[in-house]
Amino acid sequence: MSYAFVFPGQGSQSIGMLADLAETTPVVAQTFEEASQVLGYDLWSLVQNGPDTKLNQTEVTQPAMLAAGIAVHRALAEKTPLNPAYMAGHSLGEYNALVAAGALTLAQGVALVEARGRLMQEAVPAGSGAMAAVLGLDDDQVRALCDQAEGVVEAVNFNAPGQVVIAGDKNAVDQALPVFEAAGAKRVVPLPVSVPSHCVLMKPAADALAEKLADMTLTAPAIPVVHNASVRTYDSAEQIKSALVEQLYRPVQWVETVEYLKAHDVTQLYELGPGKVLMGLNRRIDRKMGMQAVFDSATLSKALETL
């Protein structure tokens, strides 16, 4: 069996996540302690106790989700040898994949994603950007309607057939929503986010992130990581840095990522980290591909049976 690990992004976080796994697996708390040392505050306590308004701040969510995904990966690695053919992550999850593949240390990853979250929020002040999920239109229809919108509205997450996320200026997105409905969308769902990710409004954040990455030493990943924007794998540190910068203001090609994995003989995906968001998307992309989410003691045990 050829398998891949995939990591969810922002939106899968919740107060109390990984509490069950932490009770039986000390490496979970240890991973969060490593992240806390970088951040200068107790990340595990915040994740377990809230408040959720704090956890949902972008510069907090991103380190929390990174630590969560790596904690699950380490929990598996303690129990069995791991030999995935590929790794990938949705948006922020790309950083999890790079840490798990050894291209970045956890400390580097935590520092980077905290800065990434902060830079994203600074690029577009809270309340001035928006995102929404458009359900039931094909990709080309969504792109065409975005092109017709007044102001910045872009298709930014190609999550599954008939599920595309748009992002841009709040006023422009708000005005575009009824246009998508009139064009036949089954539903248009505004998303509760403070930053319009993966659109051109993130270019200033991407430029600032490039400066932070310039001084950082990355290593070639031990496992190939499929990057969101290009749907390619890279060995060189400079190419990986460019991919991370590009990812901030270009779309997440998740459908193409899963199709890439399938074309390279991957038959099973394991989603590592809280929730089952990617499992839900992947069922719509390719029902025949095996999928398991790993986020608590029961799902860890189940994964160990097949790994």
Write out the catalytic residue numbers. Answer: 91, 198
Query: Which residue in the block uniquely carries the two structure tokens 């995904």?
Result: 69
Residue 289 to residue 273: CA distance in whole angstroms:
19
CA distance 2 to 307: 10
Side chain identity, residue 46: L
Q: How far is CA 130 from CA 44, 125, 153, 156, 193, in A?
A: 29, 11, 9, 12, 7
Query: What are the φ/ψ torsions at residue 265 (nearest 5 degrees)?
Result: 70, 20
Provide the 10 A C-beta neighbour count for residue 228.
29
List beta partners, residue 7.
89
CA distance linking residue 256 with residue 259, whole number of Å: 5
What tokens appear for 63 in the block?
Answer: 């380190």
Distances (CA, A) of 187 to 133, 134, 182, 251, 284: 8, 6, 10, 21, 17
